[in-house]
Structures are given as C-alpha cells and as structure tokens.
Chains A and B, each alone.
Chain A
Amino acid sequence: MNRLDIDPLIDDPATRVLVCCGSGGVGKTTTAAALALRAAERGRRTVVLTIDPARRLAQSLGLRELDNQPREVKVEGFEPKGELFAMMLDMRRTFDDMVLTHAGRDRADQILSNPFYQTISSSFSGTQEYMAMEKLGQLVAQGEWDLIIVDTPPSRSALDFLDAPQRLSTVLDGRFIRMLSAPARASGRGLLKLVGTGFNLFTKAVATVVGGQLLHDASTFVQAFDSMFGGFRERAQRTYELLRSPGTGFLVVAAAEPDALREASYFVERLSAEGMPLCGLVANRTHPVLAALPAPKALAAADDLERAGDAPLAAAVLRLHADRAAVADREKRLLARFTRAHPGVALVGVPALPADVHDIDGLREIGSRLAGE
C-alpha cells in the first residue's frame, strides 16, 4: 500500500489549495479543520473554508457568527508558528456580494429583489457548490494565504461538487429560459425545427406547471445577469479551471464502509478523467487493534473464563478485543479492495477517537493521527 504522507504535502510551499471531498457523513469538515490547524502549527499562513460545520466544531474554531469572511482563530492555548484563519460559507451572501460587485447599484437592486433570484440564491440545488467555488476563487485572488483548505458541501455524492456548478450554469445559461419565455421570437431556429410542435406543447406544459409569472421572473433575471457577467457558463468554467491549476490538490475522505468507498472510487476515477491532481485517500475513523492478540484465542479464553465464572473483567476485555479485531479485519479488507482497484492512490488510515471532537486539542489529535504519528 502506498502511504499518504500528510506533512510533506501541507509543508510544501507549492501546495496552495487542498480540497477535501467525499460523500456525506464521513467527517470531511473535521478533517479539513484538523489539516488546517496542523498546517498553521507547522508554520503556514492557512485559511480553512468550511461549508456547514457542526455548531460545536465551529465554536472550537471561534466561529460564532456566519459573516462570510475569514477570521483569525484566537483560542486560549493556541499559539501556532504560522497563522490560522477560518470561515463558514454563507451562500446567499456570497451570491449577493457577487451581484453587488459586478452590477451598478440600480441594476443590483433590480436583481436582488427578483423573486426568482431569491429562490435560486437560497434553495437551488447546486448553488452551494457554485458559491463554494466562487468563494474559493475570491480567496485565491486575495493572495493572502500560503494554504487554503476547502471543505465541500454535504451532498449525497462527492461528484456533486464538480457537477453542480455546471448544472446551475446550464439552467441559467439563458438558452432555455429565453426560448420558454419568448418562443415566438426564437422559432425558426434549427433546434425548434427539430422538435417542432412538441416544443410548443412543452412550453405550454411547463408554463402550466410552473406558472407564467415564474417564467417571466426567471427570464428577467437571466437577461440582467447575462449582460453583466457574460454568462454563468463562462464564470463556472473559470472557477473550474482553478481546480486544475498547479498548486491545487484533492484529498478524498471516506469511511471504511462499502458505500463511502464506492463513492470515493467514482470520485477518484472522475478526477483522473478531468486531469485534476489527487493527493490521496483519507480513510477516516478506522479501528485498528491496539493489542496483538489473535481474536479466536481471545474468544476461546473468554469462553473458558465465563464457564468457570471468574475474572469477569478479563473475560469482558477479551470479548471487546475480539469485537474490535473483527471490525479491524473488515476495514482492512475493504481498504485492500479499494487499493487493488486503485493501486496508484496513496492512502492513510485515521484511527477513530472514542468521542466526538469539538475543541482545538481534539483537532490537533486528529491532525497527528492524519500524519501517522
């Protein structure tokens, strides 16, 4: 197995952006925070962009409010050699700021009060991913940090992070909205000839289903937006290119579970297809045995002790050891299967802490486990 060495990665001045991806519930946010903390303590000026941190994790970084700007982490007893900044993404605010920066005051007001904009900016699937990339682009452009560590939105699939911005830009690209809101003007073009009356029926059906007012709002919004930015698609493309630029690396976080590892596999394949650099796989919350005692021997001895009815402590310890050995075996098997399918991918197992982490000490401990200490 190819071991993923965290310290050389975060110490390397050429590493500028690290993106932590993975399916929901695998501990991406905690991993991102622990990496950032470690990098800062090892001397780098680091910022971590978290998407939806658990409240207590956010508090441990001193993130009490969601103000969409990096804040220096100042916690008693935390004196890193470098510096640590942290922020939580506020997608609505990031979107608003984007509009305010690029449009004149009047234009911006017009867009911000459009009902369709309000839907898109607060509840559209894909907006969070799009805005995470937008924010990452801003942080890179500011050029203030040695290392930017990014958490990704808690989507079902790790691939959403790459696909959602494209999906959003397709919807907002204007082509369909313009056709739907002004089919008469657009008619005669090749596309409409192709689908002919079906499209008119479709337009009618969609208008019936979503309502004419919504279509009108959407059309106004897209036109205002289009003239301002030269289209969402190009903008999404630019942020996408950022992920392929030198200095960016991806860490795929997974639990040693079949579903999470399957998602990790898809993601690894996708990164290689896109020419995006994969640093390795973080197998989070593993349960390696701490004592070299074979499980069958432990179980046989526990049976003996229980039959004799003495040494209940020793019997219990032998049983819990055998439980743990069974879990460890299964995890090893699953990770070995992943490695067989992706022999080139470096991997590090991070032994689980027995309790949830919500302070700097806990994050530091995860950091040292990530580094294999």
Chain B
Amino acid sequence: MTYRTDIQFVLNGRDVSVPNVSADQTLLDFLRLERRLTGTKEGCAEGDCGACTVLVGRLGDAGLTYVPVNACIRFLASVDGCHVVTVEHLSGPDGRLHPVQQAMIDHHGSQCGFCTPGFVMALYALWMQTPEPSEAQVETALQGNLCRCTGYEPIIRAAVAVSRYGTPASDHLNTERDAMTARLAALKDGRRVVSGPKDSLSILPSSVDDLAECLQAYPNATIVAGATDVGLWVTKFLRNIGPAIFTGHLEDLKTVKRQGSLLLIGAGASYTDCQDLLSEHLPHLSSYWDRIAGWQVRNMGTVGGNIANGSPIGDTPPVLIALGAEITLRRGTECRTLPLNEFFIDYGKQDRQPDEFVASIQVPLPGPNDLDAAYKISKRRDEDISSVAVGIHMTIEEGTISNARIAFGGMAATPKRASAAEAALNGRPWSRESFEAAALALPQDFSPLTDWRASSDYRMLTAQNLLRRFFLENDAQTDTPVQLAYA
C-alpha cells in the first residue's frame, strides 16, 4: 500500500500541501511562523485563553461544518482535509470589515486588542450558527475566550448586535460553501497518511479498520483524538508524542445515536457532537455539558479521550459511571466490553492494552423510576477543572431507594464509586435521614487530596453536601431553590 506523505488542506482561500509534518507540529506555530499569519495569537498554549481561535471546517456526514478550535493545541496533521479559516480571511474578497468586526469596533469591544482576533473568531462561529444569540448563548460561546481588559461587557453588547450588521447567508463562507465542499471532497482520497520524520511520525488511518491495523503496527503510538490533553503534553511538557495516530477524521468513530434503551457514543465524537442527543435523552446532563471546558475545547475534545486518558478529574467519567455506562475496546478485529468503572484501575493506569483503543461508550437510558443528577464544583463556574464532580443515579420505588450508583471525580486517584454511601442508601426510604447517613458514610469511601483546586476538607464537605443537595432538589417538601440558576 502506498501512503500519502503530505498533509493537505485549504488555508483561508488557498490549497496547501505540507510535506513532512511531524506529530508535534501545532497549527498555531504553522500559521504564525511558517505562514506569517500573525493575527492568530498565542496567549497560553493550553487551550484556555482562546487568543488562538480559528475556524476549522470539516466535511462530514452532515456536510461541511465550521467550528471554532484552539490552534495552539491543535496538531497540524489533524487538519488534513479541512478548511482552516483565520482572522485574516474574515473580511472577504471585497476587503470590507466583517459584521462581527464592525460590531466589535462600534461597541468598543477591544482595548489592548491581543485577545480580540480570538473573540472575533468565536463570535463569527456563533453568528453563523445562531445569528441572534441571547446573552446566555454568547456567554456559553465565549467560555473559552479570556479578556483581561474590557470586563467583557462591550464584547457581549457587540455579540448580540452582530445581526444588525449582516446575515450569515451573505457571508462568504456560506456563499462559497458548495465550492469549498467540492474542494474538500476532492482532498478525501481514502488513503492512509504517514508524514513526518521517523522519530515523530504523524499517522492518519484511512478507516477504523485501518486504525486497528496502525495500532498493531505501532503499539506504542499516542492515539490523538481531540488533542485537548495530548496537545499540552507537547506545548507544556515538551514530550515526544510520535508516532501519533490521529483519529479525528474517522467519521465511523463519531457515531452518536440511540439504539433501543442505550445511547451509543463513538469514542471519536466530540463533546459538541454528543450534546444534542444527550440533552434530549439525559436532560440532567444538559447544563453539566456546557460546563465542560470552553466551546473550542468541546469542539475538539472527545468523550472517548476523556475516558481513555484516565484522569481522576475528567468531567465525563463520574456521570457516565453513575448511569451504568459500558465501554467497548477494540484490538485488531477483537472487541471487548466492560463496565466503565472497571476501566479505571489506578492513577495513570487503565485497563487498556497498548495496541487497543476505546471504540465506543454505551450508556443505558434511565427508567421511569430512576433519578439522576450531575453536579460539578469548580473555583470558577465555567471553563475550569472540577474540584469535585459527581454523577448520582438511583431508583425510587414505593419510597424506597435501590440501585444507587454514585460516582465522584476529584475525590480519589481515579473516578470512583462511593460504595459506602451507596450502601447507606440502598434499601432505605427516601428521606433526609437516609441521605444524611450516606453523607456521613462518604469518609469511608474517600480521603481526598489537598491541592490548588481545593483542600481535602472542602472536597469532603462539598461531596457530602452534594448528596444533601440531591435529596433537597428531588424532595417534594422542598419549596425554595437549592441551586444557583445562571441563565
């Protein structure tokens, strides 16, 4: 088989072919250093500030869709077959300022201006998706953009006014959509791509079967899906991730669908890809999902990656464990399925062989007598890593609790179930006393750490109080709000 060795994509208006792309080359460095497109800025190199926001258009099953991403932690190899749009491309062929740009100017949305191109790109993406957003939608879209000067007020005013300056239908990304679709379709040659120097290979399998083959050939390869964690291994820890196998382009790995009483989530589906289906079938995850990182990271990061990297503070494992999720791993042509909580063995250790990959997650849908909740506590409400996260699931039949599954993040070296608290609830009546007993049992389950996100005492007290919150929130006697509302 002959492999393609260059990475091909469309950059703004031009077709680009880059040979010899090493695994750790970032899109941001390529834009700034090699193409001198310096409108895209480096603010943090970890996907937290949004100064490097660019749009990536990908031709998928649903057609050509553009999403904002962080160029700083996006690897160049992963934009193969995509349309990359930077701030320099915004004003379009006639050179007139874009509606987003004009609105930002008229509302005094920039002060030092360094974060501004990133804001402009995020707002551009929002406007294309939601031309007349509410303030709440703007805030959600801007969770991944930091501004230190303005206090955001003028930016929000600009964002809600953009539609007065123009409509997405006349935007050149839309008017040129058919032509770009054709250009990107032409780039899909169905071949495996192997690029870069020997010690830092970038490998893009041509299909999921090819991914399995690649892993057998390179069992120590780093699997890179959204790169929202692996990106930092490179930008922060200077780790050599080669050979790296990129999976972001594998449509078959992105399936998100309901299958009978299960939700099936392909391991390559981004948080954004899952959002609609989850909100429909698991409404308790709707606002929780909006608090996973920022928009750019949700467009890149995957549920599969969040699980596979084994972090004790990933947002999705606790809530998925509570729901009774299972994961399927694949090695060569063989698949195996196990309960998600069994995947996490110890800190940094998961039940995955080197040549094995997470293929999918199966989430059983709750029944009519089930109660579910997902809570996340963090120092800052949005775009922060949890100090404590919890998924709670239980069945209430005739006033009695059964089937309690309570899983915490941030309380132990892995995402972990609170067995003693669960035991204190199962078979007990739905009552304040039962939850009090569960709260008091939590110290048997956990001895949390103290670190910069929270002290051990705070983690424990909050974890206990989240069980109390769950009771109050679902108890018929409660007649006052027990949780802050934001929108």
A binds B: no
Chain B interfacial positions (CB closer than 8 Å to A): none
